[in-house]
Chain A
Amino acid sequence: MATSISSPSSSTPLSPIQLSVIQRKRRSNLFSAAGIVSILIALMTLIALVLQLFIQGLPKLNWQFLTSFADPEASLAGVLAALVGSCLVMLVTAATAVPVGIGAGLYLEEYVTRNKFSALIEINVTNLAGVPSIVYGLLALGLFKYYFSLGESILTAGLTLALLVLPVVIVATRESVRAIPSSLREATYAMGASKSQMVFDHLLPYAFGNILTGVIIGLSRAIGETAPLVTIGALTFIAFLPESPIQSSFPFISFEWLKAPFTVLPIQMFNWVSRPESEFQVNAAAAGIVLLSLTLMMNSIAIYLRYRIQKSLKW
């Protein structure tokens, strides 16, 4: 910090300008110190949590754990059913929430005529993202399980979580579409493009990277959800896998798995944590690592894809 100005000023009295600079610098240093403390608190908590999880669960994490079903014997139990369940439920969630959410977001941003009614819809959609997940569970219980008689199936679970993710996807779509500069829209319309050409040739491709990020954030939230799935009646003990979606004989694709009962990783974890035996606590920690890795994997895919897409976009 030794500058050419500060050395002569050490002997002469400070001017009012220098005093004011020193005072304001001290204040910003103070603030940055407070900021460092805040971030350390958040970071240390996270590190402690993850460390604890890994120390406890890592020894248990092996191939046997990943490929075994739940078992009353802690050393034989594994997460296979829950892992497959989580993946399949996420598949249903993504397949339904993404098209519906992007469609709704595009409609609200590009097509809707602005009036009081549309403003009301907009406020509601934004607020939907804050509705407690258990409330979605209750809605799904009445709607999917009883009204549509979809049972305690992967389909019901996927649709329930889709409800949860939907507002996130809608908001992400709207924000990424809004971020596209109007000069680009005008350029497109000036070429004689129609609205749908505008949306499909330009808005969707350019916004896709950011929409994807929103989708992954939504899915990461959904993959850790327990409450709504318990509400619709997820099982905790499953010793078989749903029928594979890909078949060796014609028509090669089967949708039987949608009707299968299921469990997911967080429910399996909760089940093990609530056991009195300490061996099951270790299992829960190991399942936690699996869940965490799944989330991290999804996030890194999102970051990579966004980077690939954004690289080619500039305006």
Chain B
Amino acid sequence: MINIDSPVSPAPPKVEVSNLNFYYGDKHAIKNVNLTLPTNKITALIGPSGCGKTTLLRCFNRMHDLYDGNRYEGEIVLDGQVNILSRRIDPIEVRMRVGMVFQRPNPFPKSIFENVAYGLRVRGEKNKSFIADKVEEALKASALWDEVNDRLKDMAFNLSGGQQQRLCIARALATDPELILFDEPTSALDPIATRNIEELMDGLKKQVTILIVTHSMQQAARLSDYTAFMYLGEMLECDRTEVIFKHAAQLRTRDYVSGQFG
């Protein structure tokens, strides 16, 4: 089912998922998924609600480990080296390499500066000027610097929803992750804030690989290089975005992207 060998851009794989199964207790939520995320590309996960997109996304930073009764089978291999689902790998180690941005902006009830600096503090970074540089860099990369550089000590909650989400992106960027997971990052935002975030993500792929879950097919079409279509826990199809949207191999994919069901 994987078919990501395009003549245009043969990007090397950043992450390779093979035979991934995931269980919530007895519920078999992800069924035998195979997927490759090409380096410095945006891959979108689409599919009807309840198909397991978010569940799959949360496997990439072992978020499911926070709750009892969850079980992974199969492999998610980073850089062709480590299987991040291995029991020998600590989920903390995975989360230090893979960042995440959530559906609703969830800044910490701390200052703007401290929000962005938190990842560095977690890693034991003490050098104040290094932290300040990193915070500035991350805020610039998330296109927030010009709006907040004069009030870094303000509480993060004083920002607007779109600004808060960009702050959450800056927070994830500050620690130089190799992969960032976006879980419907614009579903709680207005159209203008959504456009800002999309432009931002498009720029970010120069430095980081991106996996995004979206329920908006327009967003997937506008933003992503590759699109994977999921249905009932299975990965039906994954290909270059224009192929999925124009010449999908499977009938169900064609029906979904043309809005016939969802």
Residues of chain A having any CB pair with chain B under 8 Å: 114, 183-194, 197, 201-202, 206, 312-315
Contacts and interface: CB of A to CB of B under 8 A. Distances in A.
B155 to A, nearest CB: 6
Interface in B95-142: 95-96, 99-100, 102, 104, 106-109, 118-119, 121-123
Nearest to A206: B109
Given A192-B122, A192-B123, A186 B66 contact: yes
A190 B123 CA distance: 13
Interface string B187-231: 000000000000000000000000000000000000000000000
Contacts of B119: 191-192
Given A191-B175, A192-B119, 12 more contacts: A183-B102, A183-B106, A184-B109, A186-B66, A190-B61, A190-B99, A190-B100, A191-B99, A191-B171, A192-B93, A201-B121, A314-B109
10 contacts: A186-B102, A187-B108, A190-B95, A190-B102, A191-B119, A192-B123, A192-B175, A201-B121, A206-B109, A313-B109
Which secondary structure characterizes the binding site on chain A? helix
A194 B92 CA distance: 7
Given A192-B92, A202-B108, A206-B109, A186 B122 contact: no
A177 B94 CA distance: 26
B157 interface: yes
B122 A191 contact: yes
Contacts of B175: 191-192
A201 B95 CA distance: 17
Contact of B63 (A114, A186, A194): A186
Given A183-B106, A187-B108, A313-B109, A193 B100 contact: no
Contacts of B157: 314
Interface of B: 61, 63, 66, 68, 92-93, 95-96, 99-100, 102, 104, 106-109, 118-119, 121-123, 155, 157, 168, 171-172, 175
B66 A197 contact: no
Nearest to B121: A201
A206 B106 CA distance: 14
Contact of A193 (B63, B122, B155): B122
Contacts of B92: 192-194
B66 to A, nearest CB: 6
A114 to B, nearest CB: 7
Contacts of A192: 92-93, 95-96, 119, 122-123, 175
Given A183-B104, A201-B118, A314-B157, A190 B109 contact: no
Given A197-B122, A312-B155, A314-B157, A189 B66 contact: yes
Contacts of A114: 68
Contacts of B172: 190-191
B123 A186 contact: no
A185 B66 contact: yes
B134 to A, nearest CB: 13
A186 B106 contact: yes
B66 A191 contact: no
A114 B69 CA distance: 12
Contacts of A313: 109
B122 A315 contact: no
Contacts of A206: 109
Contacts of B108: 184, 187-188, 202
Contacts of A188: 108, 118
A186 B66 CA distance: 8
